[in-house]
Structure 1
């Protein structure tokens, strides 16, 4: 039963109060019409709690805006929500992706994540293609989806807002991968449920790598905001050779910095007995936080991204199928996932707004019960990249 305006309401009560659920909650199709965003279709979700978020249909059905009762959560970069038709995948030596990088969630994959890499292409049995040139974080995030449905579904007194779509990444003499995505939220809830299924519809043996770049911005991110995670080991930091130079540790965030170079950490995270791994960024001053809950068997690796430069201020929570070492290392370590025709991988993730101090305290206790994260700002780096096992 949805909790709206401070009380639980049945479907009958909601329908007596208004001729349409849309007065409180709903999902509707829109399009952007100006500047770099012109022509992008999006879905706007409102859950009735004050949570509003948008889904960019024409950019892999990623989540763009996200706000709670007027407080911003999702990151807006200077790149904006750029129309995919303007994207140059191999531009700027493979860094062109950064000109389309913005929003709460950006999907990375489907066959490559992390930095640029020229992958051997003998699996595609085409002589002229000796390698597949991979730009940073792969192609999928700027591919339009086929919207297969959206709307509201009542089940007794429960109402679910939902959307589904299919993103196709394919080429001749190469990969033919499909991302089937479903996004749901219950009316009266602050939990966004994401279910992804990646399947090889082609007949070549094809690599698969997958990552969510979940980006939290101001005001959840501000001086004093805290990163909470069940960290059992701090494995790696991109800035290890200058660990203290920027005076920014992994857990407590500073105000926007000038001349800041991004910092990336890989943490080994423990899971609950259910297999769930919760990670959050919380703002104690506001009594507001944002949490990402994944499954260890689906995303065995996690990164923390700190882009604390003024004007680009963001912290990223990044669940991943692979270590931060990249595709070359995944191949060498026999940890790259290979999909034959019809093979699929599934991913179940929940994005949760933590609306008050009590919710923050509850989830902090939950995370601490899984593993007690380091108290020091600069934990020792183990370099222990846990073997992921042979990946079929």
Structure 2
């Protein structure tokens, strides 16, 4: 629990504000214009952290500002109601708004896949699923929103993800805690990836990525071109084909991946490799698509469900069993 807020003790703030909402708040709204018309928004404010939640996109994170500085990359699609039913399986990319966190899964990560005759869209169905918000509360100690997302089908898999997003006034840390439970009668092999998307001004020419990886491997020939400079973000150029790198992680450790801007702002993504043993880095440096993705994953592949099965990477989750997952994102420093 933080003891200070804006450089003063918490008690100092309590005596001088007229309402808790001056320093900590949860505000719900409905978008009424543009691609996001009809979509719910929840704004979480704690001190100088201002966070946008997207209940109709699985309670994922949109833009996040710390001290007024935006951390997330936003795409030109905005955040419309997502569809994963396009014939080519690429509905995800047509509604991928970016944001600080897009959750991929719960049964596919990577390209659209045919797994034993069952079709799985690109990066799964999660981003098209609305959450049931069960708690939204602000106090001096914490600002919390909780929701439940269910991916289910009659005669099919039934997975429930219960998410809790927490801010603490006086801290610059976002905690996303998930519990994934198999509510069905049969075992299910889940796939989950936390697609954390950083953009300008945090990501700029010379921004560095510090990884706990013991080895870093390019996904393909396009990534191999940048294999020697995976840790340093380049200047924008066009065209700049996307590059994806797989990071091999130490087992059963709490690790941090750090994004460090040379002007003094840094952001760390923390997670437990016992829960999320995979890590991928996504990099594109062309105008309009200037983004650095840090992507912890439950299954250490980004090539789709069929490839994961071929490689023997899928693990069954028994009926009634649950997995504890999540990431923590902390900003430090400032831009000079």
TM bucket (normalised to shorter chain) is over 0.9
**Alignment match, 2:166:** 184
Note if 1:300 corresponds to 2:286: no
**Alignment match, 1:326:** 304
Note if 1:119 corresponds to 2:96: no
Give the secondary structure class of the aligned counterpart of 1:329: helix
How many angstroms does 1:356 deviate by? 4.1
**Alignment match, 2:95:** 100
Give the secondary structure class of the aligned counterpart of 2:214: strand
How many angstroms does 1:219 deviate by? 0.4
Relative to structure 1, the CA distance from residue 92 to residue 282 in structure 2 (aligned partners, 3 Å threshold; closer, same or farther) is farther
How many angstroms does 1:336 deviate by? 0.5
How many angstroms does 1:242 deviate by? 7.0
Write out aligned runs for 1:257-268 (5 A): 257-268=237-248
Write out aligned runs for 1:1-392 (5 A): 1-10=2-11, 13-48=12-47, 50-82=48-80, 84=81, 87-91=82-86, 93-101=88-96, 102-120=98-116, 131-154=117-140, 159-234=141-216, 236-240=217-221, 243-244=224-225, 249-270=229-250, 275-285=253-263, 287-324=264-301, 325-356=303-334
Deviations 1:221-265 (A, max 9, x none): 11111111112112x312337733x69820111122211110000
Relative to structure 1, the CA distance from residue 242 to residue 39 in structure 2 (aligned partners, 3 Å threshold; closer, same or farther) is closer
Give the secondary structure class of the aligned counterpart of 2:78: coil
Once residues 99 and 248 of structure 2 are traced to their aligned partners in structure 1, the CA distance between those partners, rounded to angstroms, is 26
How many angstroms does 1:289 deviate by? 1.5
The count of aligned residue pairs is 332
**TM-score, normalised via structure 2 length:** 0.93
**Alignment match, 1:384:** none
How many angstroms does 1:279 deviate by? 0.3
Once residues 118 and 52 of structure 1 are traced to their aligned partners in structure 2, the CA distance between those partners, rounded to angstroms, is 40
* Structure 2: tracts of 5 or more residues without a match: none
How many angstroms does 1:179 deviate by? 0.7
Give the secondary structure class of the aligned counterpart of 1:16: helix
Kindly indicate whether the alpha-carbon contact (under 8 Å) linking 1:149 and 1:165 is maintained by their aligned counterparts in 2. Answer: yes
Once residues 76 and 163 of structure 2 are traced to their aligned partners in structure 1, the CA distance between those partners, rounded to angstroms, is 27
Kindly indicate whether the alpha-carbon contact (under 8 Å) linking 2:109 and 2:305 is maintained by their aligned counterparts in 1. Answer: yes
Kindly indicate whether the alpha-carbon contact (under 8 Å) linking 1:195 and 1:349 is maintained by their aligned counterparts in 2. Answer: yes
Give the secondary structure class of the aligned counterpart of 2:306: helix
**Alignment match, 1:128:** none
Kindly indicate whether the alpha-carbon contact (under 8 Å) linking 2:175 and 2:329 is maintained by their aligned counterparts in 1. Answer: yes
Deviations 1:59-101 (A, max 9, x none): 100000111222211111011111x2xx331315111101121
Relative to structure 1, the CA distance from residue 2 to residue 92 in structure 2 (aligned partners, 3 Å threshold; closer, same or farther) is farther
Relative to structure 1, the CA distance from residue 293 to residue 313 in structure 2 (aligned partners, 3 Å threshold; closer, same or farther) is same
Kindly indicate whether the alpha-carbon contact (under 8 Å) linking 2:222 and 2:242 is maintained by their aligned counterparts in 1. Answer: no
* Structure 1: tracts of 5 or more residues without a match: 121-130, 358-392
Once residues 288 and 115 of structure 2 are traced to their aligned partners in structure 1, the CA distance between those partners, rounded to angstroms, is 35
Once residues 134 and 146 of structure 2 are traced to their aligned partners in structure 1, the CA distance between those partners, rounded to angstroms, is 6
Relative to structure 1, the CA distance from residue 163 to residue 230 in structure 2 (aligned partners, 3 Å threshold; closer, same or farther) is same
Kindly indicate whether the alpha-carbon contact (under 8 Å) linking 2:213 and 2:250 is maintained by their aligned counterparts in 1. Answer: yes
Relative to structure 1, the CA distance from residue 65 to residue 51 in structure 2 (aligned partners, 3 Å threshold; closer, same or farther) is same
Give the secondary structure class of the aligned counterpart of 2:35: helix
Once residues 199 and 247 of structure 1 are traced to their aligned partners in structure 2, the CA distance between those partners, rounded to angstroms, is 38
How many angstroms does 1:307 deviate by? 1.8
Kindly indicate whether the alpha-carbon contact (under 8 Å) linking 2:300 and 2:313 is maintained by their aligned counterparts in 1. Answer: no
How many angstroms does 1:269 deviate by? 2.3
